[in-house]
Structure 1
Amino acid sequence: MNKKIAEKIDLLMRRFREIGSAVVAFSGGVDSMLLVEAARRTIPGNFVAATAISPSYPSSDLLQVKKFCSDFKVDLRIIETTEFKDPAFIANLDDRCYFCKKNLYGAFVKLADHLGLDLLVEGTNLEDLGGDRPGYQASKENPRVVTPLIDCEFTKEDVRAVAREFSLPSAEKPSSACLASRVPTGLSLSPELMSRIDRAEDFLRSLGISQVRVRHHGELARIEIRRDEFGICIEAGEFVHRELKRLGWKFITLDIIGYRTGGSRG
């Protein structure tokens, strides 16, 4: 272990001992998995992991959360979120993430109160602070929410490096995001649309594609994958076309630029 990684681990462990007791928000990604593992090592018996069931969260992430908590004997609590009852979220404007995270953090803080735990830990890292982050604004507004990866100045590579040191299964997991991010701003959201996107992406992953987004543009589905995996999609082109048409799109395209974050914005 190099000196920098050792120092980062020490900082994170000390921060969790300061936190004392908490609900740790666990999405299944590498950031939140690292935080659950840090809590498991430093405050065992004084934390629970919490995840949410929602139409806007990929179903594959929930399976990974359940498996990790089962394998590592972590107390997992699962709640159902209610963002689809909020017209501000359904409208899918630029501040959609704010309303989603406000709903989520409120539910997790209620869980913390019910269990007698002090804080809610969430997984924003230092690099996530760039650009417009309405979801992070929701965390800053809630005094019970803490962000240890920011406190300890973890970049994404720091997170992955420590996750590798801890042999966490998500250390190399591609970045994920809520399914609502596949829909351009201004097009309204529905549980049914989220389900279609989720099933389409699961299908494409079943072909061996590692990183995928199915962007919804009304009658058109735009597939974003890594350029080095184009061949998989092209070779299975007729199968892909047939399956996505079955899921409700009339036109199916493969984006020539390939996968990128924020691809719904063009």
Structure 2
Amino acid sequence: MARTGITLQHEPVLHRTLEKLGRTAVCFSGGTDSEVLLRAAADTLGTGNIAAVMALTPFLAERHRVCAENTAASLGITLHKVQVNLLSCNDILNNTFRRCYFCKSMIYRSVKLKAAEIGFHFTADGTNLDDSEKERPGLEAAGEQSVLHPLLNAGMTKRRVRNLGKILGMKDSERPEDSCMATRFPKNKPIEEKMLVLIEKIEQSTAAARGRIRAVPEKGTVTLKFETVDLSVINAVSKELFRLCDTYCTKLILNNVDSCKKGNLL
């Protein structure tokens, strides 16, 4: 990706923030915010001064890994990967409110080690202004690991981040927000590796429906919640999903949030 001056023109504060950092490793998850940061950093500093580092964890959906690989390749940026075994930490498996702190601590520590190994002393992530207005233990972990937040420092809201992404050439800057697979488990309900695998298979099978889709496990069931989606995709794969859940001795429940809002059933 060649320098274009787009970031300077549309988000001058972000441009100056990145210029001051110089060579920077971006903690790249394949999500919208980290992709916009990666594009803006490449536009400001040039691809030779940017590294993308991805933490491969059990909570990272395969589709996001593939998206990250394709994005980095299209920008001419090497994607460095580091394995992080989050399931080895009981504080994460117990899934309390502090889960995100322990999870991010392990991820940031591993990403920073990889960044230093390849010659990058600054590490930044895609945290934006809207994120800072919520109580997020992961931000505490970022502070302890000296992970920087250029989008936040530039005062950029999620809307501004998406707008910049579109200008910088993102093909899908308006894609629905997605979070790590651990968020599908209700708080204080232990995270099970078997259910992580099932949840990802379900969500991958329905990804073409777009919209907001979540597979939520609890007490021998998985509820597939979907909103503003292409229902034809859900209908086309529903029988396959019921069979899949049967192999996991789990009952599948379909929950059309749009219909529920209107007082109707699916």
1:9 is matched by which residue type in structure 2? E
Report whether the alignment pairs 1:117 with 2:120.
yes
Give the aligned partner of residue 257 of structure 1: 257
Give the aligned partner of residue 48 of structure 1: 51
Report whether the alignment pairs 1:201 with 2:203.
yes
Give the superposition deviation at 1:209. Answer: 4.1
SS at match of 1:146: coil
Report whether the alignment pairs 1:160 with 2:153.
no
Report whether the alignment pairs 1:188 with 2:197.
no
Give the aligned partner of residue 130 of structure 1: 133
Q: Deviations over 1:4-23 (max 9, x none)?
A: x9765222111111111121
Question: Are residues 245 and 204 of structure 1, via their aligned partners in 2, closer, same or farther at CA, if it must alter by over 3 Å?
Answer: farther
SS at match of 1:164: helix
Contact 2:100 2:137 in 1 (8 A): yes
SS at match of 2:70: helix
Q: 2:240, 2:196 → 1: CA distance?
A: 21
Question: Are residues 256 and 200 of structure 1, via their aligned partners in 2, closer, same or farther at CA, if it must alter by over 3 Å?
Answer: closer
State the identity %.
23
Q: 1:82, 1:238 → 2: CA distance?
A: 33
> Structure 1 regions of 5+ residues with no counterpart?
260-266
Report whether the alignment pairs 1:16 with 2:18.
yes
Q: 1:164, 1:231 → 2: CA distance?
A: 28
Report whether the alignment pairs 1:79 with 2:82.
yes
Contact 1:23 1:112 in 2 (8 A): yes
1:59 is matched by which residue type in structure 2? E
Q: Deviations over 1:182-203 (max 9, x none)?
A: 0111222233321111111101
Contact 2:128 2:155 in 1 (8 A): yes
Report whether the alignment pairs 1:242 with 2:243.
yes
1:163 is matched by which residue type in structure 2? G
2:213 is matched by which residue type in structure 1? V
Contact 2:18 2:45 in 1 (8 A): yes
SS at match of 1:117: coil
Which one is further off, 132-141 or 152-161?
132-141
Give the aligned partner of residue 212 of structure 1: 213
Q: 2:39, 2:85 → 1: CA distance?
A: 28
Question: Are residues 249 and 211 of structure 1, via their aligned partners in 2, closer, same or farther at CA, if it must alter by over 3 Å?
Answer: farther
Q: 1:93, 1:10 → 2: CA distance?
A: 40
Q: 2:176, 2:65 → 1: CA distance?
A: 15
Give the superposition deviation at 1:240. Answer: 3.2
Q: 1:110, 1:123 → 2: CA distance?
A: 19
- Structure 1 length-normalised TM: 0.87
